[in-house]
Structure 1
Amino acid sequence: MAVRLLQTHDVSDLCIGKPALRWLPPSSTVADAVADLEGAAAAAIAVWDGEEGSDVVGRVCMADVLLFLCAGANLASPAAALQATLSDLLVAGAPPPVRRIEPDASVLEAVDSLLGGAHSLVVPIRERWRRASRGELCWLTVEDVARFFLSSIGLFSPTASRSVSDLGVVRPATLAVASGDTALSALPLLRAAMASHASVAVVPGGMFPRRLAGEISPSALCSCDVSVAAAIAAFSAGDLLGYIDWGGAPTEARLHAVRSRLRRRNLIGMLHLLYGVDPSYSCSSSSSSSSSSSDDDDGDGKSCVASPCARRGKRGLFSARAMGRRPAAEAIVCHRGSSLVAVMVQAMAHRATHVWVVEEEEEEERELVGVVCLLDVLRVLRHHPHQLTPI
């Protein structure tokens, strides 16, 4: 019955009500993508030439942009990096592939594409009463497919009621960074997390190396604006958690902390980015004036606000709670004995693609055991007929 469900339902059933994806051609700049991602609060931009039948060459979200701005030489010259093309960004990040799938393909084919390495799928939007596509595409993600499975979870019994440990879907939590380490040191881990629909755990280190303090997730970064690249360059992983979650207009105390660290590291370009860089403005031309005032470390921020890189209109940071997103310090957790269906419900309720597995201890002392990713859940349910051995 379970396999028949996946074979008889078309991918178009999962795309009902989905909006057309937003796209930009590969020759567009990173600044163009930022304007789309911030202005329309789009989750991701497709890199595509817009021609019907042509391939979507990549998918860019705000997390991709932030990692690109903080990588290598871009760290010193973020304004120049904003003028790079989306093709440059994709090459630098080596993102996982986007795969096209037809709306009349089976859900089983979509699942196999995701399990085969596709990070996300693009599906032509097709009117039910027409055979022809309107030339528009929509995204189909791991979360969309998992939601479909969850809506028919009774067909996957007794597998769904078994524990995640018993089913072997608990991965080692290898993507972890100590809270005292620099946030920049977490960039390679974040790239790996994005490819595997996971997140980077933040642990205290020291005497308690495996206590879960929070997470830096790609979805949290996607809810930020481009100025958070300056915080990534300045802060430790632990401090970044609070900066991402902190709501309202930035206080001078917080801006002063970022400003001071960026000046000590001579990252003047990132300093301009913090206050809103006009991407067409070359920060190198004003670095001398900013440097001359960098000794004014009293936290009033006047030197930066008065610089040619003046504050521009942008959405700024919003608190996690105000946006309906859980704070980074409140990672979603389960236990080894949690059932597969319970973990799926947790992930769907919090719009997450993973759930951390911890020992059953007090919340402030929870020991990190591993992580359950939705992709591994789909793998188990895809092979449901082979998982019917009694517990």
Structure 2
Amino acid sequence: MAVRFLAREVSDMCLGKPQLRPLPISASVSDALSALRTTGESSVSVWKCEHSSPKKTANLDSCRCVGKVCMVDIICFLCREDNLSSPSIALQAPISDLIGNNARLVKHLDPHSRLSEAIDCILDGAQNLIIPIDNKLSKSRNKQPTTTLHNGQEFCWLTLEDVVRFILNSIGVFSPVSAMSIDSLHIIDPHVMTIHYEEPASSALNYISRSLIEQKSVAVVDEHIRIIGEISPNTLGCCDKTVAAAISTLSAGDLTSYIDYGGPPEDLVRLVKVTLKEKKLEGMYLMMEEISTSSRTTATTSGCSSSSDDKIGLVRRNGGTGRYPQKMRRSEAIICHPWSSLVAVMVQALAHRMSHVWVVGEDHCLLGIVTFYGILHVFRNIARHKPEGETSFRL
């Protein structure tokens, strides 16, 4: 049954997916920032279309998604030393400066491709799969004329979360593997990125960029390597561009407070502004002044929503003030243990809209991390090592 399930077409996952709103390769960083605000998506797709001439043949190859941009890309871009002093100028830079080598993070895939092929693409490094949408289905769903973009062809994209959630909805077909512990499945990755809570947050910039590519987070730890928070791409993606100023001026521990649920505390906002003045970063200071306090509250998009009141598997930072007791703080780390089952970890990650779960031991010290990539490796190996009709499973 598992093998047959992995042979399903990726189009089965596209039902109800919204049409991608393209951003041209000629756009600026500021355009990308506006698109993120307008669409409410965690990232926007960047396209290169070559069918401006009516003589061009209408085909899918004339329209290609060449990359994606998210808020973390913009934040890291603004944190560059040459951009901190003049962020307004930096925002006018071409969007190609952001996508750079990230073009491999997106990949076009035929809608009739198998789920196993989609997983292969993801394991090869793709984070978003671009799938053509059946125009007839789109018309009947929307009851609107077909778009004139992309020669009339519409596209959607599938993320790692989409694929893992699709598998979880039919997790029964993967029994008994789904009930096995993550330790026995050997998917605990010990190679974690950590920063001490008293270190400057700016020293983690390279880690933040890596975490976006690897779909991980940066663990904020104490002297005993106990995790007390995290700097996550998911969390930063829910913030505004002023977080670049916070990263450049605060410690890692203070940054986790700055990006907590409910918006940054006023004392930290004042500290950031004072430090910006001391460093003579007037441009970044003015950018913070332009953004009202109300715009720094929690984003209302679905991609930035936290779970409700469930506190299972969360680690609170030492010295937390408990200002928002009814909701999970965005910078809190989601944890599990080596003996946690695969399905439990999947549920935990998806419930909190995260692509990873931290693994800690009985002494609460950090042991590693489980990511969607590791989870998908397990299900892909089922198709490689379990012939149709065989009832046992060997990893």
Identity %: 42
Measured in 1, the distance between the counterparts of 2:301 and 2:95 equals 31
Measured in 2, the distance between the counterparts of 1:329 and 1:70 equals 20
Cα contact 1:38–1:225 (8 A) shared by 2: no
Cα contact 1:246–1:319 (8 A) shared by 2: no
Code of the residue aligned with 1:16 in structure 2: it is L
Q: How large is the Cα RMSD of the aligned pairs?
A: 2.6
Out of 177, 200, 222, the residue aligned to residue 159 of structure 1 is 177
Out of 371, 377, 380, the residue aligned to residue 378 of structure 2 is 380
Kindly provide the CA deviation profile for residues 29-70 of structure 1, in whole angstroms up to 9, marking residues without a partner as x. Answer: 101111111233222111113554322111001111101110
Measured in 1, the distance between the counterparts of 2:354 and 2:266 equals 32
- 1:240 — aligned with what? 255
Displacement of 1:381 in angstroms is 0.9
133-142 vs 171-180, greater mean Cα deviation: 133-142
Displacement of 1:72 in angstroms is 3.3
46-55 vs 322-331, greater mean Cα deviation: 322-331
Q: Is 2:4 the partner of 1:4? A: yes
Out of 245, 254, 258, the residue aligned to residue 268 of structure 2 is 254
Displacement of 1:251 in angstroms is 6.0
Matches within 5 A, 1:25-36: 25-36=24-35
Displacement of 1:324 in angstroms is 3.1
| Residue-pair matches, total | 347
Cα contact 2:258–2:265 (8 A) shared by 1: no
- 1:317 — aligned with what? 297
Identify if the C-alpha distance between structure 1 residues 184 and 82 changes in structure 2 by more than 3 Å, giving closer, same or farther: same
Matches within 5 A, 1:120-135: 120-127=128-135, 134-135=152-153
Identify if the C-alpha distance between structure 1 residues 313 and 86 changes in structure 2 by more than 3 Å, giving closer, same or farther: farther
Measured in 2, the distance between the counterparts of 1:129 and 1:246 equals 39
Q: Is 2:60 the partner of 1:69? A: no
- 1:112 — aligned with what? 120
Measured in 1, the distance between the counterparts of 2:137 and 2:270 equals 59
Q: Which runs of 5+ in 1 are unaligned?
A: 277-310
- 1:336 — aligned with what? 338
- 1:55 — aligned with what? 64
Identify if the C-alpha distance between structure 1 residues 242 and 130 changes in structure 2 by more than 3 Å, giving closer, same or farther: closer
- 1:226 — aligned with what? 241
Q: Which runs of 5+ in 2 are unaligned?
A: 52-59, 140-145, 307-327, 387-391
- For residue 230 of structure 2, give the secondary structure of its aligned residue in structure 1: strand
Measured in 2, the distance between the counterparts of 1:227 and 1:381 equals 40
Identify if the C-alpha distance between structure 1 residues 270 and 128 changes in structure 2 by more than 3 Å, giving closer, same or farther: same
Measured in 2, the distance between the counterparts of 1:121 and 1:89 equals 19
Q: Is 2:244 the partner of 1:263? A: no
- For residue 153 of structure 2, give the secondary structure of its aligned residue in structure 1: strand
- 1:345 — aligned with what? 347
Out of 96, 99, 107, the residue aligned to residue 87 of structure 1 is 96
- 1:101 — aligned with what? 109
- 1:303 — aligned with what? none
Displacement of 1:257 in angstroms is 0.8
Code of the residue aligned with 1:109 in structure 2: it is E
